[in-house]
Amino acid sequence: MSMTTGFYLKLYLAAVVVFFAIDMVWLGVVARGLYRKYLGYLLSPSPNWTAAIIFYLLFVAGLLIFAVVPGLQAGSFNKALLLGALFGFMTYATYDLTNLATIKDWPLFITIVDMIWGVVLASAVTSLTFLIGRWMS
> How far is the C-alpha of 23 from the C-alpha of 88, rounded, in Å?
13
Task: Using a cut of 0.85, tell me whether the model's pTM lies above it.
Answer: yes
Q: Is 37 exposed, middle or buried (0-12, 13-18, 19+ CB in 10 A)?
A: exposed
**89: Cα separation from own chain's centroid:** 9
How many Cβ atoms sit within 10 Å of the Cβ of residue 127? 19
Domain boundaries, the chain: 5-136
pLDDT by residue for the chain (137 residues), tens only, comes to 567 999 999 999 999 999 999 998 998 888 889 989 999 989 898 889 999 999 999 999 999 999 999 999 999 999 999 999 999 999 999 999 999 999 999 999 999 999 999 999 999 999 999 999 999 98
